[in-house]
Chain A
Amino acid sequence: AQTVTQSQPEMSVQEAETVTLSCTYDTSESDYYLFWYKQPPSRQMILVIRQEAYKQQNATENRFSVNFQKAAKSFSLKISDSQLGDAAMYFCAYGRGNQFYFGTGTSLTVIP
C-alpha cells in the first residue's frame, strides 16, 4: 500500500523568511502524481502545487516550489517570502488512478 509520511508535525517561520516542509512516500509505481494541499482554519482544502512523477523539472507556483527527488521518494515544499496568510496545515498527498493518499500534515505557524 502507498504511504505518505510527513515527519514534521509542527513548523514555524518568521514572516518574509523561507521554510521547507518535508514529505516522503512509498510506492512501487513509476507513474503517479504528488500534491501539496493547504488547510487553513476554515477547513477548506486548497491545492497549492502539483507534480507529475514523469517530469524531472520541479513544479513552481509563485512563492511555492517543490524539491522532487524521485529516486529518494521525497517531495518537499518550499515557501519563500512567508506571509501571515500562509499559516495553515499542509498535507502532502500521493495520487494514482484516482486514488489519493494523504500524510498526517504539518502545522505551519508564521511569526510576525
Chain B
Amino acid sequence: GAGVSQSPSNKVTEKGKDVELRCDPISGHTALYWYRQRLGQGLEFLIYFQGNSAPDKSGLPSDRFSAERTGESVSTLTIQRTQQEDSAVYLCASSLRRKNTEAFFGQGTRLTVV
C-alpha cells in the first residue's frame, strides 16, 4: 500500500478484556516496529521484526503483551487482560532493510481501557 495502515483507529475496551491491534506495513518493508505512546510522552519501543529473524521483544512491558508477524506482511499486537495503564496510542512503523533509511509510521491506534 501507499503507507503504513493501522486498524482500528480508536478502540475502547473494558478492563480485563483482550484486544488485538493490526498493522499493515508498506509493501517490501522487511522491518516492522511497534511503539507505545502514553499521553504527552515520547515513544516507548515495544517490539521489532526483521524479515524471518527472531523478533526483538525486549521492549514488551509484560507477558500480557505479544505480537506476531508472518513473513514481511501484517503484524498484530495483542494485549491480554487489559489494564487502565495500557491506555495509550500504539504506533506501528516499517522500514526497508538497508542502511540510512527512516521509519515510516502509521497513524496509530488510540486504545482506551475503561
Contacts and interface: CB of A to CB of B under 8 A. Distances in A.
B108 interface: yes
A102 interface: yes
B10 to A, nearest CB: 10
A47 B48 CA distance: 19
A25 interface: no
Contact of A102 (B43, B89, B95, B97): B43
Interface residues of B, number: 24
Given A43-B89, A45-B93, A100 B42 contact: no
Nearest to A37: B105
Interface stretch (A11-19, A64-72, A91-99): A91-99
Contacts of A43: 89, 91, 107-108, 110
Residue of B42, B50, B108 with most partner-chain A CB within 10 A? B42
B42 A104 contact: yes
Q: DSSP majority for the A interface?
A: strand
A100 B102 CA distance: 9
A42 B107 contact: yes
Contacts of A95: 102-103
Contacts of A99: 48, 56
Contacts of B45: 100-101
A91 B97 contact: no
B78 to A, nearest CB: 21
Contact of A52 (B95, B100, B103): B100
Contacts of A50: 100, 102
Interface of A: 33, 35, 37, 42-45, 47, 50, 52, 91, 93, 95, 98-105
